[in-house]
Amino acid sequence: MGLTLTMPNAEASAPALAPRERETLRHIAAGRTYLQTARHMGLSKHTVDAYLRRIRAKLNINSTAELTRLAISLGL
């Protein structure tokens, strides 16, 4: 039998993220600014901000450090 790992709520809920939310999370975790992320994704800075607000709300995350930790744990 395989080893079962217990994950915090945010990590267990991560598949609930939309593809563009996951992409946004990946860029922010890589250290890009909202503007850099927006330009790379062909979006406005406000859309990037909206994606990140939705991610934070869905996963109950309050800081960029927590977002980065999540992205790393997901292999983004």
In 3D, which of 68, 60, 57 has the Cα closest to residue 25? Answer: 68
Whether the pLDDT of residue 53 is over 50: the answer is yes
The answer to whether the pTM exceeds 0.85 is no
Q: Report the pLDDT averaged over residues 29-58.
A: 95
pLDDT in tens, 7-41: 444 444 455 889 999 999 999 989 999 999 999 99
Classify the C-alpha dihedral 59-64-69-71 as positive or negative. Answer: positive
CA distance 76 to 64: 15
3-class SS shares of the chain: helix, strand, coil, % to 5: 70, 0, 30
Amino acid 14: pLDDT = 53
Q: Indicate the pLDDT class of residue 1, thresholds 50, 70 and 90.
A: very low
Whether the pLDDT of residue 76 is over 90: the answer is no
